[in-house]
Structure 1
Amino acid sequence: MELDMETMAASIGVSVPVLRFLLCFVATIPVSFLWRLVPGRLAKHTYSAFSGALLSYLSFGFSSNLHFLVPMLLGYTAMVLYRPKCGIITFFLGFGYLIGCHVYYMSGDAWKEGGIDATGALMVLTLKVISCAINYNDGLLKEEDLREAQKKNQLVKLPSLLEYFGYCLCCGSHFAGPVYEMKDYLEWTEGKGIWATDKGRKPSPYGATVRALLQAAICMGLYLYLVPYHPLSRFTEPIYQEWGFWKKLSYQYMSGFTARWKYYFIWSISEAAVIISGLGFSGWTESSPPKPKWDRAKNVDILGVELAKSAVVIPTVWNIQVSTWLRHYVYDRLVTKGKKPGFLQLLATQTVSAVWHGLYPGYIIFFVQSALMIAGSRVIYRWEQATNMALLKNVFALMNFAYTLLVLNYSCVGFMVSLSLSLSEVLSMRETIASYGSVYYIGTILPITLILLSYIIPAKPARSKARKQQQTDKCQLAADFFGHSDIELAFCHVLLFKVCSYNATLQVFWGVASKSRKVEGMFSIPNKKSIGGAGEGSVNNPEEWEVRPGGMLVQKRDLNSNQSCVPIPTIKIRVKYGSTYHEIRISSQASFGELKKMLADHTGLHPLDQKLIYKNKERDSKAYLDVLRVKDGSKIVLVEDIASKEKRCLEMLKTTRIEKSSKSLSQISLEVDKFAQQVKVLETTISRGSKVQLVDVENLTGVLMTCLVKLDEMVVNGELKLQKTMLEKKVQKHIETLDAMKLQNTIPRRNGDKILVKQNDQHSIGKGQKVQIQEKQKSLTAQRPMMQQTRMQSDSVVFTTKWETFE
């Protein structure tokens, strides 16, 4: 077997350890597929942990699992012993051990001899351990102090040791990523959240898996084709020093372009493995019918990298999941609340990324250089946004694109060669600086120059029109509701509504402020100990547990069960609304949403328009009273949510307008279908060689033109617009058929007889109505080019892309 491995390795030009790693890495795809067949929650966690440990042992040896065990146990111990600071403790302990491994393996000869070690997998594992500890720490913070990402990923309950190991080693996903959250892993394993199948929709991963595998094959094929022509080793050869400036610069681009396809191949394989397991599912699209999205495992956007219009967008398309981790757990947490992030936060984030990759000079120089690259691209982008001239905008956009291509490939010279040459060569400080100096440090001087110019030529962004457009939309909806065609009159209605709402809000808050001292005395300070959760002796039966809002795992409530003889107590709550108090009797285990429904009967406020404030904090409708320690005699303040009421009214107006348009469209469709039968009868008569009354043809044409006028006067969007267009084409087709009948009916017969058209005064349409229809036809014909031009202008949308990712 060893001889076969050596033969296979020699045939593809790699060492035996690297070949063994590649085989185990590709094996993560069938291993992840078998996870779908494992029954039960505990069995899935066991399979995830065992398969990951086995693949690590086959790839790197037994010592790799020992290395993985150290940060995993350090993080879990910190979460158990000291939860308030477990996040920062795990961060420094995890990175400290990772740096030690980087130093240890950097001093060996494994890389020089073509070997491979477990530091790459340890890097991914470290990020998982740190994120789990920080999210468990976030479970103690107040909800108003959390960002949206923290609210989504926070852990209220400590995961079990088996769940923790399964998350860290899941099916070999730690080999090359992607990094995902503990909460997502638990919901995926337990079939909850977006993975719940109770809605009858179950996404199929096979199409997305085949796409990822085809992408991996194309990437490997391009890499094998290009690497002989642009090897990274040429940077240390004398022939490179003999080239001119432009040839060196172009070779830097081509060598970086070639080396990147190797990373695309690795990430495509890991994406296929995570997708086929089902963990890569990220929700459904809003299209009709909805389609599954598989973005959770996506680690790179190939076209986004190679055709990046700005350096700011690079972190969002290259190593996507790690960039997301750095933003949530480093960049955002370095920004002081209420202040704007600056260059220091960006530089600190890039430094952490450099240390995470390894303590090599090439890595550190690259990430410091990338911070300058992004800052320089921001300057060009601000200049682009500050001008209103289309020509200058295009010039700045082209400048930013060329700048990104130049500086990106210049900066990555010290990074891309890390797996191709020995550590003593290009990754050394001297060789990295020499490669930059060969092109006169253009990729360093240019960003610094742009940063300095930003202080001399400050950019003042053009005023946004989003708020003005939003106000115009509200006025248009109000105009439709109140029956006015004048937008200015509708604006008065909107303004009057806002003034009344603002006055009511002042009255409510005036009453609350006058009793502020009494309220502070009424509300007790909550205990800092964790609430909820199961004891150590609980039975691990998944059917006996449920997840509360916020992610807390508690024992499932069964109101129909007779196992407990203790009845659910009813409590009395005093709710203050304005200057009035309402006493509500409700179950102690009810939710705040149920309380809002009961208050709607007493106050007349819609449940969606209510804000319940308990202990100086607004409470979510999904939260439970007993979990938040609402007891008998507790006091809650009710405030009207003006923004929610306004939003609900606008949605109601929009829905009413859509329903009205849909009803009108249905009526016109029924009329057209009735007239279509008459057209068919006339067409059948003429096809048999008979003649028809000319007045019947003209009358039918007139009523169809009336339908066409009604359709052109309608303004609809979405599916209704498509139905309207199809109905217009249908009416026009019938009118064309009638015109053809009219022409055919006027052709003289072979015997020379003319068709006698009888003028009948008893027409279904009178002379005056006929003249009115003809006038509408002429008006429609004259206005149609203008209407088409207006419609084209209204349908055109100006797309802008905000590359300021970190702001």
Structure 2
Amino acid sequence: MDALFIPLADIVGASVDQIKLISCLLVAYPLGSLFIRIPSSQPELKHLFNVAITLLFFFPVLKLYTAFFQLLASVLGTYYLTRYYHGSNMPWIAFIFVMGHLTVNHIIRAVYQLSYETLEVTGPQMVLTMKLTTFAWNVYDGRRPAADLDKWQTTKRVTQFPTLLEFLGYSFYFPGMLVGPYLDYADYMDLINETMFKKLPVKGKHGRNVPAGRKRVAYRKMLFGLVYLGIFVVLGGTWNFNISLTPWFLEQSMLKRIAIYQLVGPIERMKYYAIWTLTEGASILTGLGFTGLSPSGETLWTGAANVDVLVIEFPSNFKVLLDAWNMKTNVWLRECVYKRVTPKGKKPGFTSSMITFGTSAFWHGIASGYYLAFLTGGFITTIGRMARANIRPLVLPAPGAPPSIAKHAYDVVGTIITLLLLNYAASPFMLLTATSSFATWGRLGFYGHIIIGGSMTFFYTGGTKFFRRMQAKQAAKGEKLGFESPVTTPVHEKQFMVPPSFDQLVPPQK
């Protein structure tokens, strides 16, 4: 089938593997419309459909024969481990088994120095790792007393172990197989059984359970995804983070270098916007992502989203940005790492945070740039939490009052600093090596480290006490005027969201 892709790759100027990947994502659209036509009364056909399409992608199109059987080994190993082993450490054994397999392939990729244009096992294996480890925790939660579970664990717990066919259908759900986003087993079975549709007062066309509006949203996603992809193809070859390593970049003034980096950052992110938006649309066509009806009765399909572009490009703070970036991976890290490494009865703290950041970097691969990016992201999260707890309460308006000028100024400054830090911290992830990362940071005057270091020094050497006194004075003044002061409760660790996962257009690096 390469004869279909080589001419197009030559025209576009991309690798054949990249063209194949995008083609699979686009073919998933009409296949999604076929999938949803299989009635919920025949779930076995839906599972078989998922497996068959995944085989179609991996064998005749991508020619990843060995890769598929490696993924199948992880699937079968997880299935039988979770089914027959009931020990309390079962989820961690599954985690080590699946993550260890992924790491071996990351090392192999690094040894052979495969570029990000080359599509091989690690890309889909990263998605599958999230699925399988989440499933292991869901099974574990299904064997625990309901009183010991939180809301997410109660909703996602697996109490009836699936058949092998059901598990294969879940593992090889075709729209998200190559680049994600991943879904948990409970959501997959809701999709198969159309559970989320059955209580709707309004049915779709011809009396079907699936509500109307799905295609409109899905193909709009496809259009936006293609626009993002077009921007990246046209501009990404020249305007990317590697520009910092060129002689031309050194000839520019420091301010101009920093400004250029803020312009290339969004272009670099376009490839992620493209693939995640394309897979979201295909997932919606299968029925995934339905979140209810709007007040006007319009169907909402936001449950399969993995990225919110406008929030990322215009964030008011770093936490808001992280919440909008690679959403499904954030959920996985929060539910399967961050909360699980926290001792029972204790609140998550610094140790839980750093283990989560480390896991995220480890999941992406072994390149030093990943660890520099996530370590920097950890410190950015820390100063963001400090600003939110100490400065933000002072600019919040009184209850019922409109936002003040100070609040608007706080949001504008927060957006600027957040984007500056995002593009600074993300560069090692794209550059991959520590040498290139530190060279780039040096050519940018280490402005990110200056912001981070200056902020932490300020807060730890009296800034926190100063703002707490200001909050106390504001609260006292509010009481005299007869209204409650804005809440000044610090942002706790439970609101922590893990760092962004800067996945490559095709499997990263290395």
TM range (shorter): 0.7 to 0.9
Matched residue, 1:290: 297
2:143 pairs with 1:137? no
**Match of residue 117, structure 1, among 120, 141, 151:** 120
Give SS of 1:387's match. helix
Residues 428-466 of structure 1 show CA distances to partners (whole Å, capped at 9, x for unaligned) of 211111111212322123223323322322254959xxx
Quickly say closer, same or farther: Cα 1:81–1:353, change in 2 above 3 A. same
- Show structure 1 runs of 5+ residues with no match: 418-425, 464-797
- Which letter does structure 1 place at the counterpart of 2:255? W
2:426 pairs with 1:384? no
- Give how far 1:70 is off: 2.0
Counterparts of 1:181 and 1:151 in 2: how far apart (Å)? Answer: 13
Counterparts of 1:20 and 1:225 in 2: how far apart (Å)? Answer: 19
Matched residue, 1:362: 369
- Which letter does structure 1 place at the counterpart of 2:289? G
Matched residue, 1:452: 457
- Give how far 1:358 is off: 1.3
Counterparts of 1:2 and 1:442 in 2: how far apart (Å)? Answer: 46
Give SS of 1:47's match. helix
- The more displaced of 341-350 and 72-81 is 341-350
Counterparts of 1:206 and 1:68 in 2: how far apart (Å)? Answer: 31
- What are the residue-to-residue correspondences of 1:292-441 with 2, within 5 Å? 292-387=299-394, 390=404, 392-415=406-429, 417=430, 426-441=431-446
Counterparts of 2:149 and 2:234 in 1: how far apart (Å)? Answer: 49
Say whether the 8 Å CA contact 1:135–1:155 is kept in structure 2: yes
Say whether the 8 Å CA contact 2:202–2:211 is kept in structure 1: no
- Show structure 2 runs of 5+ residues with no match: 204-209, 397-403, 473-485, 498-510
Quickly say closer, same or farther: Cα 1:212–1:803, change in 2 above 3 A. farther
- What are the residue-to-residue correspondences of 1:592-671 with 2, within 5 Å? none
- Give how far 1:29 is off: 1.6
Residues 403-449 of structure 1 show CA distances to partners (whole Å, capped at 9, x for unaligned) of 1011111111122x3xxxxxxxx322111111112123221232233
Matched residue, 1:443: 448
Say whether the 8 Å CA contact 1:316–1:323 is kept in structure 2: yes
Residues 715-740 of structure 1 show CA distances to partners (whole Å, capped at 9, x for unaligned) of xxxxxxxxxxxxxxxxxxxxxxxxxx
- What are the residue-to-residue correspondences of 1:746-761 with 2, within 5 Å? none
TM-score using structure 2 length: 0.84
Matched residue, 1:19: 19
Quickly say closer, same or farther: Cα 1:59–1:319, change in 2 above 3 A. same
Matched residue, 2:111: 107
- Give how far 1:60 is off: 4.3
- Give how far 1:79 is off: 0.8
- Give how far 1:394 is off: 4.3
- Give how far 1:277 is off: 0.5
- Give how far 1:276 is off: 0.5
- What are the residue-to-residue correspondences of 1:155-194 with 2, within 5 Å? 155-192=158-195, 194=196
Say whether the 8 Å CA contact 1:252–1:413 is kept in structure 2: no
Say whether the 8 Å CA contact 1:381–1:400 is kept in structure 2: no
Residue identity over aligned pairs, in percent, reads 25
Matched residue, 1:219: 228
- Which letter does structure 2 place at the counterpart of 1:270? T
2:489 pairs with 1:806? no
- Give how far 1:100 is off: 0.6
Say whether the 8 Å CA contact 1:60–1:117 is kept in structure 2: no
Give SS of 2:174's match. helix
- Give how far 1:118 is off: 2.2
Counterparts of 1:259 and 1:111 in 2: how far apart (Å)? Answer: 16
Counterparts of 1:304 and 1:209 in 2: how far apart (Å)? Answer: 20
Matched residue, 1:746: none
Say whether the 8 Å CA contact 2:64–2:120 is kept in structure 1: no
Give SS of 1:408's match. helix
2:286 pairs with 1:277? yes
Matched residue, 2:273: 264
Matched residue, 1:75: 78
Quickly say closer, same or farther: Cα 1:397–1:90, change in 2 above 3 A. same
- Give how far 1:371 is off: 1.0
- Give how far 1:3 is off: 4.8
Give SS of 1:434's match. helix
Counterparts of 1:240 and 1:214 in 2: how far apart (Å)? Answer: 34
- Which letter does structure 2 place at the counterpart of 1:457? G
Matched residue, 1:244: 253
Give SS of 1:457's match. helix
Matched residue, 1:195: 197
Residues 739-793 of structure 1 show CA distances to partners (whole Å, capped at 9, x for unaligned) of xxxxxxxxxxxxxxxxxxxxxxxxxxxxxxxxxxxxxxxxxxxxxxxxxxxxxxx
Counterparts of 2:365 and 2:161 in 1: how far apart (Å)? Answer: 31
- What are the residue-to-residue correspondences of 1:516-595 with 2, within 5 Å? none
Higher RCO (CA-CA < 8 Å; seq separation 6+): 2
Quickly say closer, same or farther: Cα 1:324–1:307, change in 2 above 3 A. same
- Which letter does structure 1 place at the counterpart of 2:413? M
Counterparts of 1:2 and 1:334 in 2: how far apart (Å)? Answer: 46
Say whether the 8 Å CA contact 2:393–2:487 is kept in structure 1: no
Matched residue, 1:792: none
- Flag the structure with larger Rg: 1
- Which letter does structure 2 place at the counterpart of 1:226? L
Quickly say closer, same or farther: Cα 1:196–1:251, change in 2 above 3 A. same
Counterparts of 1:405 and 1:187 in 2: how far apart (Å)? Answer: 38
Say whether the 8 Å CA contact 1:138–1:150 is kept in structure 2: yes
TM-score using structure 1 length: 0.54
- Give how far 1:239 is off: 1.9
Matched residue, 1:534: none
Counterparts of 1:200 and 1:401 in 2: how far apart (Å)? Answer: 41
Counterparts of 1:242 and 1:71 in 2: how far apart (Å)? Answer: 50
Quickly say closer, same or farther: Cα 1:12–1:377, change in 2 above 3 A. same
